[in-house]
Structure 1
């Protein structure tokens, strides 16, 4: 399923893997912030989120790293790329 459809149907959780400071500077509505550096220590929280996860960051690089790591842990997730792209898809659902 395409990422846009998952977001449109509100059938996912959007996780922003940027730093807390970057997140506070702007983020996708209803997204949650779990910085890339905190993924390992927050696995229990991540496992309890509504899946699949749509991961985003500034450019798609960190979310790609997060997607690779979480996929290896059995988490259903997708690299959404830039949070601005994910925000655009989210804005079209209203």
Structure 2
């Protein structure tokens, strides 16, 4: 196990664990970005609306993998969800996440 995987965990393994447990992919990009290409079956809630939709997200009763264009917004969304008791991991950029799925 490398030093960084020891510190931060292996993202690919975590994503596999989440997908094995039927996780929801939550894309937090803008509507225009999402409409230009997205992971099939993903849910779309722009980052600015995540806090307001916490109850809706909790109702999914599933772990969540957040994604965006680069991983910055999805990291912010993951923090919001985590602070509200939702099991979440930041999947990073949607294109690289899609390749891991």
TM-score between the two structures when normalised by the length of structure 1: 0.86
What is aligned with 1:4? 16
Consecutive unaligned residues of structure 2, counting only runs of 5 or more, are: 1-12
Q: Which has the higher helix share?
A: 2
What is aligned with 2:93? 82
Question: Does structure 2 retain, via aligned residues, the 8 Å contact 1:13–1:50?
Answer: no
**Secondary structure at the residue paired with 1:81?**
strand
CA distance in 2, matches of 1:47, 1:6: 16
What is aligned with 1:18? 29
What is aligned with 1:49? 60
CA apart distance, 1:6? 2.5
Backbone CA RMSD of aligned residues: 1.4
CA apart distance, 1:49? 1.6
Query: What stretches of structure 1 move > 3 A for 4+ residues in a row?
Result: none
TM-score between the two structures when normalised by the length of structure 2: 0.81
Consecutive unaligned residues of structure 1, counting only runs of 5 or more, are: none
Q: Which has the higher contact order (CA 8 A, sep 6+)?
A: 1
Deviations 1:39-62 (A, max 9, x none): 121111111124210000000000
Question: Does structure 1 retain, via aligned residues, the 8 Å contact 2:28–2:67?
Answer: yes
Give the number of the structure whose alpha-carbon radius of gyration is greater: 2
